[in-house]
Structure 1
Amino acid sequence: MTVPAPRVRRRTRRPGRLLPLLLATALLLPVAFLVVQAHQLVDADRDIVARERLGVEYLRALGPVTDALVDAQSAAVTGRSLRRDTLDQAVERAAAVDARIGGELSTSERWAGLRAKLEALPERPLTDPEAAFTVYGEVTDLLLALHGKVRETSGLVRDPGADAYFLQDGVGEEMPEAVVAAGRLTDLAVLMNRRPAAERLQSLVQLATLRGAALQPANDLANNLRSVVENTESADLGANVLNPFDAYQRAVETMALHSQPTNRAGTIDTTRLLAARNEAQQAAKQLQPVLLDEIDRLLVERLDELDRDRLLIFGAGGLAVLLLIGLAVNGWMSAPRDASAATADGVTPGPPTDGRWDPAGTRPVEQSPTLQPVGQVHEPDRWRPFDAAR
């Protein structure tokens, strides 16, 4: 008689099905962390480049102020009447730029002080040219300091690109210094011819100092532009820069030549010197927007690259999330389920204990006949003849 095996309750394999979900969730955390970190780095780089573009915009506004201030100084020293319209318009445009981005570049305080000095300049030439030379010299010093402040706070002075760095150094520092020094050189030459002979030697020393101050930044600007033109990958930069750059270089060399005394008395040919300075200033006016446009183009290209990097980061992160979700769903769907033969109360018959089922209890094991060794008789067969005789 066969005794039915006890019915046992099979446990569901829920932990095995949850394991893929747990692994996918655990992998999503580092993936999300890496995506967020990379996105923050890209955003930080974009903020740096955007700030540099603000610096380029501010330098573009300061260029006309520099030219107009140098012209006003020359007019004041020579006693010529010069309308303030050009200077006032340049100041108003720079003030509008500072009102919009000065707070972010931390230049509002410096601009306020410079603007007060500019508005305090007399509309009519001063009766004392020496005093006018000193007054305008103080204002131009403040203007050059503002150029440096813009380069520092905007980050242009720390630009990692070689082309952008040399260009901003030339247009933001060397060019305004050269323009201001050239104006002071010509104005001092005019004043020196009016000074008494006893002061002529001291004036020649001052003139030599200003000549060096004008030539040094001009030479540095030439070296920087030469390096950029020779090494740049932009095909348009060389053609746009060479013509105004050559004109500027020739004018600076001519200005240095005519700033030398023409006789033993130390007389300076101020007419030729002023003409050479005007040529240099006009060449600088043409050169400045070209250099600023090139810097801005390089920065825009860098922004585009950062935008592409951000899209790649989001794309890679999204693809990783989709793959992990797919793996989790696949693991969930392919996990072993409970036997379909389970009853309503969740119990299934257990395997018989008579040893005729495999250890898993899923199918019977076929019984094979027991093989007897040769010459050996089974015990019941040995006594069968005696039972027949009785």
Structure 2
Amino acid sequence: MTVPAPRARRRPSMWGRVLPLLLVAALLAPVGLLLTQTWRQTGDNRDLAARERLGVQYLSALAPVTDALVEAQSAAVNGRPATGEALTRAVEDAAAVDARIGTELRSQERWAGLRAKLEALRERSPTDPESAYTAYGEVTDLLLALHRKVRESSGLVRDPGADSFFLQDSAGQELPEAVVFAGRLADLGTLAPRRPAAEQTRSLIELTGLRVAALAPATDLVDNLRSAVDSSESTDLGANVLTPLDTYQRSVEALAAYSAPVPGTGTVDPGRLAAARLDTHTAALRLQPVILSELDALLVERIDRLDRDRWLATGAGVAAVLLLGWLAALLVAVGRRARRRAAMPVPPMESRDIPPSGDAWQPAIRTGRSADPRPLQPVGATRDPESAQWGPSDAAR
């Protein structure tokens, strides 16, 4: 009689235990990469929008300086008395803004140079109109260069939105240039008749050049603002911008008409040109704060949208990590259960040579000894008579 040894259960292989975890890690890696890229991209866009808002604040501080400087130039050229209080107050306010955010915008060096020129101009105000025209022209050139620097360092020139790009271009470049060159055009119209006859031709050429320099940015400004309104999803932009824009456009048309030389004489009317310049300047003062306010509102809305996108991406990433973590825990639990079952011994199988002890109808196994008792067999025909077993005493019956 043979008794088989108990069989041990088959243990799962190393790859069988590690492969599910590798699968979870393979699913988790792209989720983490996508979440990281989304977080970084939205963070960069948010930082750009926040930096652009600093540029809007700086441009808002430069607007009163531009206004006061152009008015001071006009007063100096025309011989009008000017207290300079408006320019002093505007310079102090701009200096406070530069001290607060100038380091981040890298504008302190340019502002220091501009302020030094302004201080020197205020202390030694030129009495000659021609000298005043030249001196103020140099300072306004520095002021326009500071506008460009602020737009570049704040990222306004790289704004990704169509409506906000047109707004920043209008408020940071076109409008300051239009105001400055319109002031120069009107002042030159005052100086030209006083010049000698030999210089009249040169004066006419200068007037023509300044006329183009003043009207070109004004025309671009009108086109930019209308493009901003057409491309914007904001319902407030058109309602707030179009009314002062129409006023400014009418004043620019009047400036273009009165700055054109009279046919035959080649001269302009200084009085009408100065009045048209003043109307244009007043309309620009009403338009610029509206543009900057709408631009800042668009940037705030963009920052809020980026914040929502970041948190939505974070929530989706956390949900994916939790789901994959639950799947990994489930696979680990299944693996541990399989290892515990593999460690348990299997009960031995019964031998085919040993009949079950409780079955009395099975024939006894012949061992070759006649004295071995044999249990009784059932009486009657069987399915296979030839296969029935007979004992030594069965033949005498």
**What SS does structure 2 have at the residue aligned with 1:337?**
helix
Is the 2:11–2:339 contact (alpha carbons within 8 Å) kept by the matching residues of 1? Answer: no
Other-structure match for 1:348: 345
Distance 2:102 2:255 in 1: 36
Per-residue CA deviations over 1:116-164 (Å, capped at 9, x if unaligned) read 1111103464222111111111111111111111111222112121111
Moved more, 234-243 or 135-144: 234-243
Distance 1:201 1:347 in 2: 112
Alignment of 1:1-390 (within 5 A): 5-6=4-5, 20-21=20-21, 23-123=23-123, 125-261=125-261, 264-335=264-335, 337=337, 348=345, 350-352=347-349, 354=351, 378=386, 381=389, 388=395
Moved more, 100-109 or 300-309: 100-109
Per-residue CA deviations over 1:236-275 (Å, capped at 9, x if unaligned) read 2222222221221121221222223458555532222212
Distance 1:340 1:148 in 2: 74
Q: CA deviation at 1:41?
A: 1.4
Distance 1:171 1:109 in 2: 22
Distance 1:266 1:133 in 2: 22
Is the 1:79–1:125 contact (alpha carbons within 8 Å) kept by the matching residues of 2? Answer: no
- Residues 150 and 386 of structure 1: CA distance in aligned 2, closer, same or farther (over 3 Å): same
Q: CA deviation at 1:288?
A: 0.5
Moved more, 307-316 or 327-336: 327-336
Other-structure match for 1:360: none
Give the residue type in structure 2 aligned to 1:247: T
Residue identity over aligned pairs, in percent, reads 58
Q: CA deviation at 1:384?
A: 7.0
Is the 2:261–2:267 contact (alpha carbons within 8 Å) kept by the matching residues of 1? Answer: yes
Give the residue type in structure 1 aligned to 2:301: E
Give the residue type in structure 2 aligned to 1:41: Q
Moved more, 39-48 or 173-182: 39-48
Normalising to structure 2: TM-score of the pair? 0.83
Moved more, 198-207 or 308-317: 198-207
Which has the higher Rg, Structure 1 or Structure 2? Answer: 2
**What SS does structure 2 have at the residue aligned with 1:136?**
helix
Q: CA deviation at 1:10?
A: 5.6
**What SS does structure 1 have at the residue aligned with 2:122?**
coil
Distance 2:315 2:322 in 1: 10
Distance 2:233 2:340 in 1: 71
Normalising to structure 1: TM-score of the pair? 0.84
**What SS does structure 1 have at the residue aligned with 2:345?**
strand
Moved more, 269-278 or 315-324: 269-278
Unmatched segments (≥5 aa) in structure 2: 354-361, 363-381
Q: CA deviation at 1:4?
A: 5.4
Unmatched segments (≥5 aa) in structure 1: 357-368
Q: CA deviation at 1:185?
A: 0.3
Distance 1:176 1:170 in 2: 9
Superposition CA RMSD, Å:
3.2
- Residues 336 and 46 of structure 1: CA distance in aligned 2, closer, same or farther (over 3 Å): closer
Other-structure match for 1:361: none
- Residues 337 and 206 of structure 1: CA distance in aligned 2, closer, same or farther (over 3 Å): closer
Distance 1:347 1:231 in 2: 74
Is the 1:61–1:97 contact (alpha carbons within 8 Å) kept by the matching residues of 2? Answer: yes
- Residues 29 and 189 of structure 1: CA distance in aligned 2, closer, same or farther (over 3 Å): same
